[in-house]
Amino acid sequence: MKRSTRQILAATNNTDKLREIRQILNGSDWEVVSLNDFPPYPEPPENAETLVENALEKAREGYQHTGIITLADDSGLEVDYLNGRPGVHSARYAGENASYDDNVDLLLREIDGAQENERTARFRCVMALVGAGIEQWWEGVSEGIIIETRKGSSGFGYDPVFWSHELGKTFAEASSEDKNRVSHRGQALIGLSNVLNELT
C-alpha cells in the first residue's frame, strides 16, 4: 500500500547540508522542501552563542513564515587545541564571507605544529524541529582528528581535514552513505526521524 507523503521544511540556505538532510530522510514518508520553495523572509541573524539557540531560532522562523513543520541544523567543528574553536562560528571562522577553503586554510595555520595527540576534534550538530505543539532538538557528535593536509574531494566544509575515528578516513574520502551513517548530522537526525515517524 502506498503511504502518503507529507512536507517538512529544512530551514537552511546551505545546499550541502540540505543535500545530506535529504539523503538521510530519503525513504521516510516526508518530502523535504527548502527555503527556495517559499517567498524569501528575513533569516534570523545566527548570533546566539549556542548551537541549540541558533537551531531553534531558525526552525521557529521557518515555521512561523510557512506554517509547515520545520527542521533547522546548526553545526560546527570543535578543535581541542584551539579550546573548542571555531565551534559555533565555524561558517564564518575566517571572516564574514569566508569560503570553505578560507576556513580550512585558517584552521591548518592555527593548528600548525600541534602533535597528533593534540589534534583531537569533533563535529557537533543540533537539529531542531518546530511545528504545531512541537519544539524539540537533538544533538549528534562525531569524533576525529584534524590532519595536516586535505585528503579527499567529497563532502563539504572541513571534511577534507577531518579524519573520522569511526571510518578510518576523512569525511571527504568517505561515500555519502558512510559519512551520513556516522556523522553528527546523521546522529542528530535519528531522534528527529523517530518523532516524524510517529506523526505520519
Footprint on this chain of ligand IMP (rule: CB under 6 A): 14, 46, 74-77, 90-91, 103, 123, 155-159, 171, 183, 185
CB closer to ligand IMP, 65 vs 179: 179
The residue with its CB nearest to ligand IMP is 157
Q: How near is the Cβ of 159 to ligand IMP at its closest, in Å?
A: 4
How far apart, in whole angstroms, are the C-alpha atoms of residue 111 and residue 125? 22
Q: Which residues are catalytic?
A: 74
Q: How near is the Cβ of 8 to ligand IMP at its closest, in Å?
A: 18
The DSSP string of 15-78 is HHHHHHHHHHHTTSSEEEEEGGGS---PPP----SSHHHHHHHHHHHHHHHH-S-EEEEEEEEE
CB closer to ligand IMP, 70 vs 183: 183
Q: How near is the Cβ of 74 to ligand IMP at its closest, in Å?
A: 4
Task: Please enumerate in sequence order all residues whose Cβ is within 8 A of that of 155, keeping only pairs 6 or more positions apart, or say none.
Answer: 16, 171, 172, 174, 176, 179
CB closer to ligand IMP, 45 vs 113: 45
Identify whether the C-beta of residue 193 lies closer than 8 Å to the C-beta of residue 25.
yes
